[in-house]
Structure 1
């Protein structure tokens, strides 16, 4: 059972002489419950591919489909959560408000979203920061809030774009612990883009991006 499929997907930014092809002819399937690392250097197309998988970017050509999810983009957004690479918290909102926001915007009642958010903040180890503003948080704390916000959606597909890229080794390891545990609890597929081999080694599969092209592992016994 696949939660997302890409069929010959490409994404180009700009036009004419200024056009840049970020993703070339990508075809792949992500199964329910998968644990996948997308590895590659900066600028290799990892982030663009994750945004295509999430439905945040539309392909220039090819198709992305979500066979198990609702057809409506708003309803589908309840099943797909993204943890972005850089700071993505709204500075005027406190930690609890930031954590609740995505679930409320996708139709969850505020009381239920708040209940989920408090559980998620406890799960990521920062229950005491609910009233703090983002400017008072460390990088690791802010990334944990971003993970908690994603978990509040109760997604079936969890996408994380370089979630440890701006963190020290210890904090990065803790963030990955939280992501893996959350995916297990939710029964969600987890896809993490990373340039860090230590992060990639924690996932069951490693796919590689080079110059916008996706290279899948060769299965044992394949010709």
Structure 2
């Protein structure tokens, strides 16, 4: 690996919400690096700080102390974030939802539609293009949420409990789609999860406990 492979560098980061006696320390003393090709699972129960850490890595939250930087990119917009819920807009069909971030970024409608359709095909959801979100199952909605991120061709995909609201089989299918799509576009992938069967499918595991990211565990 070279310096150019370092996509996210997180050093001794802390994030505190509130002040005084009511302050809550969500993340503290945590460091990690995300390099090109990474397949990382951040594990731990609800409330351990996983989501806050992911938001720090994405640039959605600013650290209270420590630093987060994106050395080999032009900033957080090279990062795609998949939330636990699919966050689709009810009045837009699947293709429109998938294309929306591109349209908002100023890309012409026809080019955005083409990129959206290609991304839906990557997660085996092309046949859903004309459906409304209310017509989708939970697994289908999450695959569309993955496609919406892929359409932007990010260098890093951060997925926050993407299978947390799904049954085991559906969750595995969504992870299949995430892994295959990340391989296809050459993106690093970081997944937060409390499910050991999901974490075991990624090459590296970093447990979180009480807001602190612990040393890496290599899967067999």
In structure 2, the gaps of 5 or more residues are none
Q: Secondary structure at the match of 1:158?
A: strand
Indicate how the Cα distance of structure 1 residues 179 and 92 shifts in structure 2: closer, same or farther if over 3 A, else same.
same
Q: What is the alpha-carbon distance in structure 2 between the residues aligned to residue 217 and residue 115 of structure 1?
A: 39
Aligned to 1:24: 28
Indicate yes or no: 2:11 matched with 1:7. Answer: yes
Indicate yes or no: 2:67 matched with 1:68. Answer: no
How many correspondences in the alignment?
214
Normalised TM-score (structure 1): 0.92
In structure 1, the gaps of 5 or more residues are none
Indicate yes or no: 2:93 matched with 1:104. Answer: no
Contact 2:206 2:217 in 1 (8 A): no
Q: Secondary structure at the match of 2:11?
A: strand
Contact 2:82 2:162 in 1 (8 A): yes
Aligned to 1:42: 46
Root mean square deviation, CA, Å: 1.4
Which region of structure 1 is more displaced relative to structure 2, 210-219 or 156-165? 210-219
Aligned to 2:199: 200
Aligned to 2:119: 120
Normalised TM-score (structure 2): 0.93
Q: Secondary structure at the match of 2:189?
A: strand
Contact 2:205 2:217 in 1 (8 A): no
Which region of structure 1 is more displaced relative to structure 2, 169-178 or 128-137? 128-137
Contact 2:14 2:64 in 1 (8 A): yes
Aligned to 1:85: 84
Q: What is the alpha-carbon distance in structure 1 between the residues aligned to residue 41 and residue 79 of structure 2?
A: 17
Contact 2:13 2:27 in 1 (8 A): yes
